[in-house]
Chain A
C-alpha cells in the first residue's frame, strides 16, 4: 500500500552521504545545493503521493505500518525499522519536506560564497533524514533515534560558524539543554515499556500497540509519571519553560537553519510527540494541566521578552518560543488537532518571517560591508526604511506578520483562535480555563505588538545607516524571494483548511477539514474522554465564542496600534518609556535575567561540583587507583622480567631443569 514510504527518509540520507563524503571535492555550489535540494524535493514528491493515497482511503483505514527490516530483537523487546503512515505523520512529512525544500532552495542563494557550503547542505540533509525518521518512526526507539539525530544536527548547524566562540557556546548550550530533555524522554520510554510489560505482559514500544492497549493503563498514577517524563523531553526539544533559553541563543546559526530547525520543524517535535502519544496524556489530568500551564506561561513570558529585543532574529526566536507555548497550551487543553494545526500554520508564517529576516540581514550585511561599517547587520536600530528597497521581501514579511498577529482571514487567526477557544472551553481544567485564556489572549496582544514593532522598525521610517551604505541595499535574488512568496501565500491561505466550526457554520457549513482529517489519530483519546468525563463540559454559548473571538482580535489590533503609535507616529515614545521605567526595561531587555539565574542556581554549582570531582575525586582517588595498579604491576614485572633474559642458555637450562624435575617426580613419587 505505502511500500515506497521508506524512500522519504532515504533521499535526504543519500544527499547527506553524497555531500558529506564528496562535497569537498565537488566544490561547485550549484551542484552541491542542487543535490541537497533535489533530495528533499524527491522526498516531497513521495510525501505528496503518500498523502494522496492516504486521502483516497476510507477514514477508518487510514493507518498503515510499513516494516522495512527487523532492527533489534532481544527477549521481549522488539524494535523494527518500520514507518507509521497515518494522518498525523502525513501532515508532518508534508510540512517537513515542503517547508524544508523551500528552505533548501533559499539556502542556495543565502549561503552563496560561504566557507563550508557543502558542510551546510550535508548537515541540512542529515537533519531532514533525522526529522523524517522522527515523524515516521512507528516505535519509541526509532523516534528517539530521529529525536537525537535532529538534536545533533541542531548542534552542528548552530555551531556552523564554529570559529566564532559565541556560536560554539550556543551550540553546546542547545545540546546540553536538549540532553536534559532527552533524559526525560528516555525515562518515560523505559517506564512505559516496563509498566506495560511487567504489569500487563504487553511488551511493546510500537505506538499502535500501545494505543490499542491503552485501556490497560490507569488514570493518573504511573501514567502521570510517564507523561511528565515525556513532557520534560518535549520542553527540552521545543524550548518551553524551564528549558527554553537555548533557542534564542541558537540564532547564532545561519538564518535558514533558524527557519528550518528552530522555527518550522525540529522545535515542533515535542508537540508532535505529545500528539502522537495523546492516548497517554489524556489519561493524566495532572499532566495535561502542567502542559497547559507551562504552555500558557511560556507563551506569555517569551512574548514579554520579545517586546524589548533589538536583534531581529532574537525577536523572532522569542516569538517562536511563545508560539510553541500556544501549541502546548492546545495540547494541555486536549485539543490535539488544534495544536497540530497551529504547528502547521506556524511553520508557514514563521519560516517566512525567518527567511524574510534572513533576506534583510543579507542585504544589510552587504550594504554595511560596502560602506566598511562594522555595525551589526542584525540590529533593528540600524535598519529602517527598507520598504522601498526590498518591496517583495517587505510584502511577504508583512503578510506573515499579519498572519502571526491573528488578524481575521489569515492562517494564524484560525489556528490561534481555535487554541484560545479550546483553552477556554475544554473540560479538563475547570475554572483554570479562564486564566489560561487570559494569558493566551495577552500573549496574542503582545505578539501583535512586538511583531509590528519589528516590521515598523525594519521597513518603515528613515534609514539609519550611512547614505553610502544605503545605496547598496537591494532586493534579494529570485532564488531567495521565491520561497518567501510561496510561504507568504501559504501563511495567508493555509488556515482555510481548518476553519473553526463556528466560523465554518456561519459561512454556510464549511467543515473543519483539518480536524476531521486528524480524527482517526485521536480516536483512543476521544473514546477515553467519552467514558471518563471528569468535569462537565462547559458548553458556552455561541455568543460567548463570538465575543471571545472579537475580544482577541481587538487585543491584537490594540497591540498593532500601540506599535504603530510608538514606532511610526511618535518615535520618542519608546525612549521616554524606557526613561520612565528603567528597571522594567532593563529586566525585559536582559530576558528577565533568566540566564543569569540559571548560571547562578545550576551552572555554577554544577561547575563547582565538577571541579571538586575533578581535582578531589578524579585526580586523587581514581587516578591514584589506576596509577597505583599500574605501578604495582610494573614493580612485579620489573622483578619478573629478569627471567626473560633473552639468552638461549638460560632458556635451555630452564627446559633441561624442567625435564629433570618432571622425570624425577615420576621416578620418586
Chain B
C-alpha cells in the first residue's frame, strides 16, 4: 500500500478544517457538523492504517466511533432544541451563562 501518507495527510487537512470550523463558527449546529467532520477525519486514519497493517481492529473501531457519533448527534441536537426553546437562539455568542 504505497499511498498511505496521502490518506493520512488528507485526514489531517480535514481534521484541521474541522478544528477551524469549531473555533470560528457561531452557529451551534454548524459547530456540531464540524465536530462530525473531525470524527470522520479520524475514521479515515483508522481505515487507512487498518488497510496498511492488514488488521481489522481499526475498522471495528470506526464502527464504534460511528455509534458514539450517532449517540452524540441525538443528545447534542436535543440539547440545542432545549436551548433554542429557552433562548430563541443557538448562537454561541449568546451562550455566556458558564461564568455563573
Contacts and interface: CB of A to CB of B under 8 A. Distances in A.
A–B interface present (Cβ within 8 A): yes
Interface of A: 644-649, 651-653, 656
B100 A646 contact: yes
B99 A646 contact: yes
B50 interface: no
B23 A656 contact: yes
B97 interface: yes
Interface stretch (B6-14, B40-48, B88-96): B88-96
24 contacts: A644-B99, A645-B96, A645-B99, A646-B95, A646-B96, A646-B97, A646-B98, A646-B100, A647-B92, A647-B95, A647-B98, A648-B92, A648-B95, A648-B98, A649-B26, A649-B92, A649-B93, A651-B98, A652-B22, A652-B23, A653-B23, A656-B19, A656-B22, A656-B23
Nearest to B93: A647
A442 to B, nearest CB: 81
A648 B79 CA distance: 14
A666 B20 CA distance: 22
Interface string B54-68: 000000000000000
Contacts of A653: 23
Nearest to B28: A648
A652 B100 CA distance: 17
Interface in B1-55: 19, 22-23, 26
Given A647-B93, A649-B23, A652-B23, 10 more contacts: A645-B99, A646-B95, A646-B99, A647-B92, A647-B95, A647-B98, A648-B92, A648-B95, A651-B98, A656-B23
Contacts of B92: 647-649
A389 to B, nearest CB: 77
Contacts of A651: 98
A655 to B, nearest CB: 10
A256 B19 CA distance: 86
Top 9 A-B residue pairs of the complex, sorted by shortest distance between their CB atoms: A646-B99, A646-B96, A646-B98, A644-B99, A653-B23, A647-B96, A649-B92, A648-B92, A648-B95
Nearest to A660: B19
A651 B22 CA distance: 12
Q: Among A644, A645, A648, A656, find the residue whose CB has the most chain B CB atoms closer than 10 A.
A: A648
Q: Name the residue among B23, B93, B100 with the largest chain A CB count within 10 angstroms.
A: B23
Contacts of B93: 647, 649
B36 to A, nearest CB: 16
B37 to A, nearest CB: 15
A652 B97 CA distance: 15
B3 to A, nearest CB: 24
Contacts of B96: 645-647
Nearest to A641: B99
Nearest to A647: B96
A12 to B, nearest CB: 54
Nearest to B22: A652
A656 B93 CA distance: 18
Contacts of B19: 656
Interface in B66-100: 92-93, 95-100
A604 to B, nearest CB: 54
A379 to B, nearest CB: 68
A664 to B, nearest CB: 14
Contacts of B23: 649, 652-653, 656
A647 B26 CA distance: 11
Contacts of B98: 646-648, 651
A644 B96 CA distance: 10
A656 B15 CA distance: 12
A656 to B, nearest CB: 6
Nearest to B97: A646
B86 to A, nearest CB: 16
A652 B21 CA distance: 12
Contacts of A646: 95-100
A647 B99 CA distance: 8
A657 to B, nearest CB: 9
Nearest to A651: B98
Nearest to A644: B99
A147 to B, nearest CB: 53
A644 B99 CA distance: 6
Nearest to B20: A656
Contacts of B26: 649
Nearest to B96: A646
Nearest to A653: B23
Nearest to A657: B23
Contacts of A645: 96, 99
B83 to A, nearest CB: 11
B68 to A, nearest CB: 19
B25 to A, nearest CB: 9
Contacts of A648: 92, 95, 98
